[in-house]
Amino acid sequence: MNETFLVVGLGNPGNEYKMTPHNAGFMSVEKLAKKHHCRFRNCKFQGVLAKYEREGVKVFILKPHTYMNNSGVSVAALMKYYRIPVSRLVVIYDDKDIELGKLRIRDKGHSLPSHNGLKSVIEALGTNQFARVRFGIGAPPKEQVRLMDYVTSKIPFPELETYDATAEEAADAADMIIFEGMEAAQQRFSSKS
């Protein structure tokens, strides 16, 4: 078996976005890279890339540095260069419609998402038929009306532990999708939600 997969974490580059809810995807793929003892390096696909091999399968891990709304530019360029089919793509991203600390795993999209990063990936690839790990960040507090302010502000200290644990689970879920299949990952992780 000589397959190549791509796991993408969506987020924004730069210190001002570090440890914000919108960077849950970045946090998750950082956990995945750490788990497999690989490091992110700059790449020609407008992002940073890590890779590991397991059981004859090569896995690329990408953090696009195009900013959230243009994530698809980086993802599509890498997939085209390495000829990775959409059936071997896993995208991890934050989802305000899911309770904080919960994951939802889907094998493909149903409707056009409200998440701009995911929207960009779908537009760049021309399809929504790829696996995704939805990382629950919860809805903004009632008094905080602007969603953009909520997702780009620092994670409150009491929630940091939950984000850390959920990022670990999201990394494990991506691994499981690749090596054990979508159904196994859905049973193990989506059932907790």
Q: Where are the domains of the chain?
A: 4-192
The CA distance from 128 to 130, in Å, is 6
Residue 111 pLDDT: 65
| CA–CA dist 51, 36 (Å, integer) | 9
pLDDT the model gives residue 191: 55
Half-sphere exposure of 58 (CA within 13 A, CB side): 10
The pLDDT value recorded for residue 179 is: 97
Residue count of the chain: 193
Active site residue 22: yes
Rounded CA-CA distance 96/102 in Å is 11
**Percent of all residues in the chain with a pLDDT value above 90, rounded to a whole number:** 88
Query: d(Cα 182, Cα 95) in Å, to the nearest integer?
Result: 19
pLDDT tens for residues 99-123? Answer: 999 999 999 876 667 899 999 999 9
Q: Answer whether residue 50 shows pLDDT above 70.
A: yes
| pLDDT single digits (tens) 157-179 | 999 999 999 999 999 999 999 99
* Class of 4-192 in CATH: alpha beta
What average pLDDT does the segment 85-93 reach?
Answer: 97
Split at pLDDT 50, 70, 90, the class of 151 is: very high
Q: Is the pLDDT of residue 192 over 80?
A: no
Distance CA 105, CA 189 (A): 7
The mean pLDDT of 57-83, rounded to a whole number, is 97
Q: What is the pLDDT of residue 190?
A: 78
How many helices (H) and strands (E) the chain has is answered by 6, 7
Question: Residue written as tokens 């929504």?
Answer: 128
Is residue 24 a contact partner of residue 137, using CB atoms and an 8 Å limit?
A: yes
d(CA 180, CA 127): 24
Report the candidate in 5, 41, 2, 7 with the shortest Cα–Cα distance to residue 133: 7
Q: What is the pLDDT of residue 193?
A: 41
DSSP 8-state assignment for residue 90 = E
By the 8 A CB rule, do 182 and 108 touch? no
Give the pLDDT score at 110.
67
Inform me whether the pLDDT recorded for 27 exceeds 90.
yes
Tell me what pLDDT residue 95 has. Answer: 95
